């Protein structure tokens, strides 16, 4: 086995409050997940014939992308080139090109190398297959991850903060130098919550576009920020937390003109539900006083098999 040149693991992410609003520098509560994505850089096998070979594997160790690149592929990549959704090869070239622009010479050593990435979660879950990739590449090439994100996928950057966080954070966007506050947030009621996968991945970029097309009031932004702070109050109990979550859902629903997940799919759920990330897919957060087994059975009976407790999901 060749000696590895670089190896890192970036955590996945969940945004508990502030979805969409985090784009406008509203403080948001985010948590890193136990599962993430690793990035390993090795000398390529002898005779590979390429500057860079890239192999990406799923959580089941199945290859989902394989590509070979020569330097011209990313050296000639234009900042104006549009990368189509799902074009992984072009996205890798874009990442390398932007990294080179951020720190000239950082890709000079890419000669006869192999990069291997491995996901620790289902790539359809929306836990950050893109953000963990950006974090891994930024660490490898020693560039500002927020600037690399800005020049490639775009977004608020909270997911990059989660990629290297050791626990919950309050994230406030500020260009390529965000404000990140680590929290010792461990209220007992969190153990009575879980995350439910909605069986479909949502396109976060489409959600961002929809948000940007609407006029967002200063009052709504202020309320979301206040609810984020309120949820981190260590004296809260479950019912108070559920009320905060309900208020948060109402504001986002009214702002975007969408129905909350509980109203849309689970009106009889014994507790409170909250959409996470881009509304309409990925995970929702379930808060309930009912036993975990009963909550799991509720969702399983309705065809939602992936139900993960907070303790099992969050780092």
Query: Which domains occur in the chain, in start order?
Result: 6-182 (3.30.230.10), 188-313 (3.30.70.890)
Tell me: the pLDDT tens digits for 3-39? 899 999 999 999 999 999 999 999 999 999 999 999 9
pLDDT for the residue 88: 95
pLDDT for the residue 278: 76
pLDDT for the residue 282: 87
What length does the chain have? 315
For the packed helices 204-212 and 238-256, what is the interaxial angle rounded to 10 degrees? 70
Q: For 24, which DSSP code?
A: G
pLDDT for the residue 129: 95
Q: Name residues whose C-beta falls within 8 Å of residue 113's C-beta, 6 or more positions apart in sequence.
A: 5, 41, 42, 43, 44, 51, 52, 53
Going by pLDDT thresholds of 50, 70 and 90, the confidence category of residue 279 is confident
Alpha helices in the chain, H assignment, sequence order: 71-75, 88-102, 129-141, 145-150, 158-163, 204-212, 218-231, 238-256, 261-265, 292-300, 310-313
Phi-psi region of 272 (alpha: psi -120 to 50; beta: other; left: phi over 0): beta
Going by pLDDT thresholds of 50, 70 and 90, the confidence category of residue 1 is low
CA distance 40 to 6: 6
Instruction: Look over the chain and give the mean of its residue pLDDT values, rounded to a whole number.
Output: 94
Tokens of 19: 């979805």
CA distance 245 to 228: 9
Tell me: the pLDDT tens digits for 203-240? 677 667 778 788 889 999 999 999 999 999 999 999 99
Read off the pLDDT of each residue in 292-296 and give the average, rounded to a whole number.
Answer: 96
- More confident call, 191 vs 2: 191
Q: Using an 8 Å Cβ cutoff, are 285 and 198 in contact?
A: no
Q: Using an 8 Å Cβ cutoff, are 134 and 145 in contact?
A: yes
- The answer, as to whether pTM is greater than 0.85, is yes
pLDDT for 276 beyond 70: yes
pLDDT for 82 beyond 70: yes
Tell me: the pLDDT tens digits for 201-213? 766 776 677 787 8
pLDDT for the residue 215: 83
Q: Using an 8 Å Cβ cutoff, are 180 and 171 in contact?
A: yes
pLDDT for the residue 2: 73
Read off the pLDDT of each residue in 70-89 and give the average, rounded to a whole number.
Answer: 88
Task: Say how many C-beta atoms besides its own lie within 10 A of residue 166's C-beta.
Answer: 9
Read off the pLDDT of each residue in 252-272 and give the average, rounded to a whole number.
Answer: 93
pLDDT for 84 beyond 90: no
pLDDT for 48 beyond 80: no
pLDDT for the residue 85: 80
pLDDT for 285 beyond 80: yes
Angle at 114 between CA 112 and CA 118, to 5 degrees: 175
Task: Write b or e for each residue in 62-83: b if 16 or more Cβ atoms lie within 10 A of its Cβ, otherwise e.
Answer: eeeeebbbebebbeebeeeeeb
Q: Using an 8 Å Cβ cutoff, are 224 and 17 in contact?
A: yes
- More confident call, 2 vs 301: 301
């Amino acid at each position: 086995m060749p000696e590895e040149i670089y190896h890192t693991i970036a955590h996945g992410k969940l945004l508990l409050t502030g979805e969409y609003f985090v784009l406008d520098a509203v403080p948001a509560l985010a948590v890193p997940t136990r599962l993430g994505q690793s990035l390993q850089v090795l000398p390529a096998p002898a005779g590979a014939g390429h500057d860079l070979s890239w192999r990406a594997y799923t959580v089941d160790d199945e290859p989902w992308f394989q590509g070979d690149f020569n330097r011209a592929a990313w050296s000639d990549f234009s900042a104006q080139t549009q990368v189509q959704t799902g074009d992984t090869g072009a996205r890798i070239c874009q990442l390398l090109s932007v990294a080179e622009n951020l720190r000239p010479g950082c890709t000079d050593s890419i000669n006869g190398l192999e990069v291997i990435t491995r996901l620790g979660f289902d790539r359809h879950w929306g836990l950050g297959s893109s953000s963990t990739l950006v974090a891994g590449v930024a660490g490898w090439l020693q560039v500002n991850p927020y600037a690399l994100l800005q020049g490639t996928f775009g977004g608020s950057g909270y997911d990059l903060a989660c990629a290297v966080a050791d626990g919950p954070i309050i994230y406030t966007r500020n260009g390529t130098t965000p404000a990140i506050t680590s929290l010792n947030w461990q209220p007992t009621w969190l153990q009575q919550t879980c995350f439910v996968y909605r069986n479909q991945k949502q396109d976060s970029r489409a959600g961002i576009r929809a948000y940007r097309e609407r006029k967002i009031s200063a009052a709504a932004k202020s309320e979301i920020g206040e609810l984020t702070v309120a949820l981190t109050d260590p004296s809260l109990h479950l019912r108070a937390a559920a009320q905060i979550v309900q208020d948060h859902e109402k504001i986002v629903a009214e702002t975007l003109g969408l129905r909350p997940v509980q109203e849309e799919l689970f009106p009889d759920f014994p507790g409170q539900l909250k959409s996470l990330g881009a509304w309409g897919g990925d995970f929702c957060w379930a808060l309930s006083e009912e036993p975990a087994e009963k909550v799991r059975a509720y969702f399983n009976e309705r065809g939602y098999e992936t139900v993960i407790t907070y303790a099992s999901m969050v780092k």
